[in-house]
């Protein structure tokens, strides 16, 4: 398809960083976009900005790690336009700390923010997409979930879980017309990166727009099916 006019997307984690960049791009392509995030000021301002620019957007404030909130994010799309074409899950949380210093509370928080959010939003989206026989789910993981890295064992484990979950779900959903893709980028130039590692080498960072281009390509071409649903995104120096 030339653009995304008439489609509806939900972007989880749309208040900042990659989620915000993706929501803006999807709206420019003609999609109606539900922007979902925990911080009301950010997500409401982002939706208002898209509307001022001539796009279609609605804000939903909620925590995708909570079942009722995740369901409400998807219902906001289907209740608005009667359809759901794309779910992009960008919500997540990092932790950089030697494993011996990680508390159980921190470990469980990592899995809630990086894995439970994916499970709950994907389940809610599939309940809308499978009966329609179409749709695209894109989960954001991380290169750390493939290669690992020092001092991020919990984060890498959670993202590896997202990767395995997405691979299995892709096989489950494909026969019924729904694609599931997992993007696994290296370090990106986002507020989360700078908050976690303020001294990181900027030259090694991926621009969010490079990942957004992957999202748009998949959304524009509903017949494209990938042999491996996990797509690493990296930068060459």
Three-class HEC string of 176-200 = HCCEEEEEEECCECCHHHHHHCCCC
Q: Where are the domains of the chain?
A: 8-233
Tens-digit pLDDT profile for residues 194-224: 455 566 556 566 788 889 999 999 999 998 8
165 vs 232, more confident: 165
Q: Is 155 a catalytic residue?
A: yes
Distance in angstroms between the alpha carbons of the first and the last residue of the chain: 34
Quick one: 8-233 is in which CATH superfamily? Answer: NAD(P)-binding Rossmann-like Domain (3.40.50.720)
Provide φ and ψ at 48, rounded to 5°. Answer: -65, -40
Find the catalytic residue in 142, 155, 181, 208: 155
- pTM for the complete prediction? 0.90
pLDDT of residue 193: 47
């Amino acid at each position: 398809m030339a653009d995304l006019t008439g489609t509806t997307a939900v972007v989880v984690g749309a208040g900042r960083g990659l989620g915000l960049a993706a929501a803006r791009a999807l709206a420019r392509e003609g999609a109606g976009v539900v922007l979902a995030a925990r911080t009301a000021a950010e997500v409401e301002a982002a939706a208002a900005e898209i509307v001022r620019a001539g796009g279609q957007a609605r804000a939903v404030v909620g925590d995708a790690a909570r079942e009722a909130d995740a369901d409400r994010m998807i219902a906001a799309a289907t209740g608005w336009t009667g359809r759901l074409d794309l779910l992009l899950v960008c919500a997540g949380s990092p932790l950089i700390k030697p494993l011996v210093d990680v508390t159980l509370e921190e470990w469980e928080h990592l899995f809630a923010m990086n894995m439970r959010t994916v499970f709950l939003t994907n389940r809610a989206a599939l309940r809308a997409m499978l009966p329609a026989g179409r749709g695209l789910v894109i989960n954001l993981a991380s290169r750390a979930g493939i290669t690992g890295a020092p001092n991020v064992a919990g984060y890498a484990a959670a993202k590896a879980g997202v990767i395995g979950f997405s691979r299995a779900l892709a096989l489950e959903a494909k026969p019924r017309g729904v694609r599931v893709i997992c993007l696994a980028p290296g370090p990106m130039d986002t507020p989360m990166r700078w908050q976690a590692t303020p001294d990181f080498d900027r030259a090694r960072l991926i621009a969010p727009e490079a990942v957004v281009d992957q999202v748009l390509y998949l959304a524009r071409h509903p017949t494209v099916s990938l042999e491996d649903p996990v797509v690493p995104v990296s930068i060459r120096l």
